[in-house]
A and B are shown apart, each in its own frame.
Chain A
Amino acid sequence: MKRTASQRKHTPGEIQVWLCAAGLACGLLMIAGLLLLIFGNGVVVFWPKPISEFTVRSADGSESKISGELVKTQLRRTAEGGTKAEIQLFTGNKDAYGLGFRFIDKEAILSESRPEGLMLAERMEYGDALFHPVQLKRKDGATLPASAPEFQGTLQQRLDEGNRLRSRLLHLEKGRIGKINARIKAMELRIKELLAGGKSGTGPEVSALRDRIAREQKGFDTLVAESRQMRARLEEDELTVRLSTGEERTLKTGSIVYCYEPNRLSLIGKLGVFLHHVIEFATSEPREANTEGGIFPAIFGTFVMTILLALLVTPFGVIAAIYLREYASQGLLVRIVRICVNNLAGVPSIVFGVFGLGFFVYGMGAFIDGGTRIPLPPMWWFPVAIAFLVCLTGSILLAVQSPPAGAESENRRGFGTRLKPIVATLTVFLGVLTLFQCPYFHGFFSSSLPTPTFGTGGILWASLTLALMTLPVVIVATEEALAAVPRGVREAALACGASKWQTIQRVVLPSALPGVMTGVILAMARGAGEVAPLMITGVVKLAPSLPLDFEAPFIHAERKFMHLGFHIYDLGFQSPDSEAAKPMVFATTLLLILLVVVLNLAAISLRAHLRRKYQASAF
């Protein structure tokens, strides 16, 4: 049977539309699934779950009790080829049981109950404890049984006291003792320098310093004694508890951070516990190899690194793009440069990490610390330095030289214009050689060597490495934005008597700013989520201090830092108890995504603001 075009069932192209829609739907579904998984698991971590007490018959027929939080039910293959249902239970009490998790065959469970008096305590060490409280014992020997009406209040009061004491202890040890330590170290370095400079060990300067060290040492000892006393006070009160297995143990109230009775909580009570967990997670420092406590240093480190990255990558990328698009004559060379830039975006990030380690950390960092290791002999260095000065003079002359009068200066490129990139490259090369091979520079931190200051991974080097990695993104986006600025606006500026640079600076760049911001946003998003290059250029599992604080000079660019992405890797694959760390992995992932979203939203609103200000007329 013949069909004419008008009798066709489908319009041509209808199926293609469906295929496109299906492709988009697949992509969206995968992204939505990933986000839902992270969001679901990440939020549930903080919600208090009920704790069940199981009566279990063991292999020899005896009955025992065990309590814990149900994690999951799964099927296990048995040796005979069948399957058996089993449950995974979070039992806590790692100090008593040896493990925090246990698998129990469903068949072996005789009964399950949810006793209201069961208590969950988050501790400084050994993770959570699950128990029935028995009595509270003060240091004077007075005891308070758990059945007493004032037991809850007294226990809470003890815990608050302990938390206050701990925060004071932290302030004392990290702040005041740390400061004295830094001062003593600085004075010891000074003595070392003086001795190296030929001063006698018994001279007036050295002995004055030694006296001051002795005085500081005395203050140090007093503070250490104070901290020891505070530690002892944390050990004073004891809580006697009975585990579900029947065993009785004592816990120091000073080691408990937070405790609640999960089975007795109302909805509002659960919400309170949830909020407490969220706040603790976002604001406090990690405990127990990062599997407990918060991740504030990692949030802060990621934030500072991303901001630093944006500040470093923007000027370089924009300047490079302006030259490529506006000044360079569009020939073969520029095409090759553009291809190289685009390919740079495809280089594996770990390669950038290795480059950062070699060039920034071991090259520039070591140079800042102690000058060059193998300097050029002066007889070679001086000619290089003179060549550099000649090139510099040449570039300055080329730069200030007015365009060749009369000739179609902006179009016909004279000899000087062709020379410019070559002279600029030569100048930079010789300048770097002159600086890095200078035999008269011995570094800013040579006295503290062999301990490196900048010659080891740090937030500055990590940010620089990421800036290098994300440079192509910014260059490409800026070039696109510059190309999109309407020709009419440029011509109008030139017709007003503006020079080429004035046109770019006053008219073209403002119009292109929203596009440039898009590039920076993409660079930030990529940089913030990157882990591999950071692992070798400055990220650590646990950083003792933040890269920004109230101690002069406030910005510590040489410090190592923590990063959410690395934290995820560390928790998930490097932690001693990966089961216990799993919830933290989800929560950290969720937070990293949130941080990237927040940073991007800030940049997008900035871009929208710029767009309103500089929007090209719609026509």
Chain B
Amino acid sequence: MPPESATPDSSAVSSSAPAAPLDPAFIEVDHFNFWYGTKHAIQDITMEIPERQITAFIGPSGCGKTTLLRNLNRLNDLIENIRHEGDIRIDGQSLYDPSSEVISLRKRVGMVFQKYNPFPKTIYENVVFSLRVAGRNHKAELDEVAERSLRGAALWDEVKDKLHESAYGLSGGQQQRLCIARAIANRPQILLMDEPCAALDPVATLKIEALMTQLKEEFTIVIVTHNMQQAGRVSDRTAYFYMGRLIEYGPTMQLLSNPREKATQDYVSGRYG
């Protein structure tokens, strides 16, 4: 079977109306502020991200979109001298609640990075990594998860004969899809994507975008992108950030073609700066 996802029809994707979300406020950002040392990187952002849709964060560099994304799985905790105020809730449960634990949070929130970063391991071990660290080592289960995740990432047909070879033998686009397979292996509820196509060529980008529209059937996807066309092609809702503030947030079609704010209008039409 030829992988259909390899030749996506992008116009069909972008023009489809957003499906009604299951829970319109699956992720709630509630008056959230965030500081790197003294730098106020996120300023009083309040927004609701719906379940099983693709929400795109756009905005110029340094506007806080990646910072907010990395707070959704608390990856910013690694940095020294940080501080936050306000709250973020996923499915009603606060990330900063004393009873919630960061490791179990990260099991619920998968992440794909700007620069593809497979581990120095075989393709198979890359995919099942999150199960291994959770102590799940049954071969049958791992095999099943590996195949399911690689199929989910539209990579199975390309790598099924070399599962036990190094992941570094793959092309850039394949490595990024491998990272997606790795992120969805543990069946998270949310998939965070930080400019997932920034390091890829146009063909690989199209493959990843087609994959995202498939994945939203199952996952709530939040994507950071610099590319307005990409936001238009794949996302259901788009948020425009500027200088740490949320300027405008709404359905993608509306935000890109008919923004309410002057600043958004300037940015999406390329007059920014």
Interface of B toward A, CB cutoff 8 Å? 73-75, 77-80, 82, 96-104, 106-107, 109-111, 113, 115-121, 129-130, 132-134, 166, 168, 175, 179, 182-183, 186, 199
> Are the C-beta atoms of B118 and A617 separated by less than 8 Å?
yes
Task: Verify A613–B120 contact, CB threshold 8 A.
Answer: yes
* Distance of A526 Cα from B168 Cα, bound (Å): 35
Q: In the complex, which residue of chain B has the Cβ closest to the Cβ of A330? A: B80
Give A615 to B68 CA distance when docked, in angstroms. Answer: 32
| 17 further contact pairs, Cβ within 8 A, besides A492-B113, A494-B78, A496-B133 | A406-B100, A409-B77, A411-B77, A488-B117, A489-B117, A492-B117, A493-B129, A496-B129, A496-B182, A496-B183, A496-B186, A497-B134, A498-B130, A506-B119, A510-B120, A615-B168, A617-B117
- Of all chain A residues, which has the CB nearest B175? A617
Q: Do A495 and B73 touch (CB < 8 A)?
A: yes
Determine whether A381 belongs to the interface, using a CB cutoff of 8 Å to chain B.
no
Question: Could you tell me the distance between the alpha carbons of A405 and B74 in the complex, rounded to whole angstroms?
Answer: 13
Residues of B within 8 A of A495 (CB): 73, 75, 106, 109-111, 113, 183
Instruction: Check A408–B134 contact: CB distance below 8 A.
Output: no
What A residues does B118 contact at CB under 8 A? Answer: 492, 617
Q: How close is A523's CB to chain B, nearest CB, in angstroms?
A: 24
Complex CA distance for A615 and B134, rounded to whole angstroms: 25
Q: Which residues in A have their C-beta under 8 angstroms from that of B102?
A: 403, 409-410
Bound CA span A615–B118, Å: 11
A506 touches B133 (CB 8 A): yes
Interface string of A323-355 (1 = CB under 8 A from B): 000000000000000000000000000000000
> How long is the Cα–Cα vector from A616 to B167 in the complex, in angstroms?
10
CA distance A407 to B95 in the complex (A): 10
In A486-534, which residues have CB < 8 Å from any B CB?
Answer: 486, 488-489, 491-499, 502, 506-507, 510-511
Least CB distance from A410 to B in Å reads 5
Q: Per-residue CB proximity of A97-140 to B under 8 Å, as 1/0?
A: 00000000000000000000000000000000000000000000
- Cross-chain contact B106 with A406 (CB below 8 angstroms): no
CB-CB under 8 A from A496, the residues of chain B are 106, 110, 129-130, 133, 182-183, 186
B99 touches A499 (CB 8 A): no
A contact residues around B100 at 8 Å (CB): 405-406
Instruction: Tell me the A392-430 residues at the B interface (CB within 8 Å).
Output: 403, 405-411
Give B269 Cβ to nearest chain A Cβ, in Å.
33
Contact of B104 among A491, A494, A497 (CB under 8 A): A497
| A619 contacts B by Cβ under 8 Å | yes
Within 8 A of B (CB), among A356-411: 403, 405-411
Q: A510-B120, A617-B118 are in contact. Are A497 and B80 (CB under 8 A)?
A: no
Question: Could you list 9 examples of A-B contacts with CB < 8 Å?
Answer: A403-B102, A405-B100, A406-B97, A406-B100, A488-B115, A488-B117, A494-B78, A496-B110, A496-B129
Which of B97, B100, B109, B113 is packed against the most chain A CB atoms within 10 Å? B113
A536 to chain B, nearest CB (A): 44
Query: How far does the alpha carbon of A494 sit from the alpha carbon of B103 in the complex, in Å?
Result: 8
* Cβ-neighbour of B133 out of A408, A411, A497, A510 (below 8 A): A497
Number of residue pairs spanning A and B whose beta carbons lie under 8 angstroms apart: 104
A274: Cβ under 8 A from any B Cβ: no
CB distance from B87 to the nearest CB of A (A): 12
Residues of chain A within 8 A (CB-CB) of B199 are: 619
Nearest residue (CB) in A for B119 is A507
What is the CB-to-nearest-CB distance from B2 to chain A, in angstroms, rounded to a whole number?
Answer: 28
* Chain B residues closer than 8 Å to A493, beta-carbon distance: 119, 129, 133
Nearest Cβ on chain B to A503's Cβ, whole angstroms: 8
Is B133 in contact with A619, judged by CB distance below 8 angstroms?
no
Q: When A495-B106, A499-B133, A502-B133 are in contact, do A406 and B117 touch as well, CB less than 8 Å?
A: no
CB distance from A504 to the nearest CB of B (A): 12
In the complex, chain A residues 469-491 whose Cβ is within 8 Å of any chain B Cβ? 486, 488-489, 491
Contact A411 B120 (CB under 8 A): no
- The smallest C-beta distance from B168 to any residue of chain A, in angstroms, reads 5
Identify A488's interface contact among B101, B113, B168, CB under 8 A.
B113
| Neighbouring B residues of A619 by C-beta, 8 Å | 115, 199
Docked pose: A256 CA to B108 CA in angstroms = 83
Q: Known: A492-B182, A507-B120. Contact between A497 and B77, CB under 8 A?
A: no
Render A592-619 as a binary contact track against B, CB cut-off 8 A, 1 for contact: 0000000000000000000001111101
Report B186 CB to chain A, min CB distance, Å: 7
User: For B132, what are the chain A residues with a Cβ–Cβ distance below 8 Å?
Assistant: 506
B74 proximity list for chain A (CB < 8 A): 408
| Minimum Cβ distance to chain B for residue A411 (Å) | 5
Q: Which residue of A lies closest to B170 (CB)?
A: A617
Q: Are B183 and A498 in contact (CB under 8 A)?
A: no
Query: Do the beta carbons of B129 and A498 come within 8 Å of each other?
Result: yes
How distant is B146 from chain A, measured CB to nearest CB, in Å?
14
Q: Which residues of B contact A411 (CB under 8 A)?
A: 77-80, 82
Closest B residue by C-beta to A490: B78
Nearest-CB distance from B152 to chain A (Å)?
16
Is A491 within 8 A of B113, CB to CB? yes
- A616-B120 contact, Cβ under 8 Å, with A496-B133, A497-B104, A506-B133: yes
Q: A486 to B168: give the CA distance in the assembly, Å.
A: 14
Interface residue from A406, A502, A616, A617 paired with B98 (Cβ < 8 Å): A406
From A510, which residue of chain B is reached at the shortest CB distance? B120
Q: Are A506 and B103 in contact (CB under 8 A)?
A: no
Query: A56 to B15, alpha carbons, bound, how many Å?
Result: 113
Given contacts A494-B78, A495-B106, A497-B107, contact A617 B168 (CB under 8 A): yes
How distant is B102 from chain A, measured CB to nearest CB, in Å?
6
Chain A residues positioned under 8 Å from B129 (CB to CB): 493, 496, 498, 506
Chain A residue nearest to B185 in the complex (CB): A496
A407 surroundings in chain B (CB, below 8 A): 98
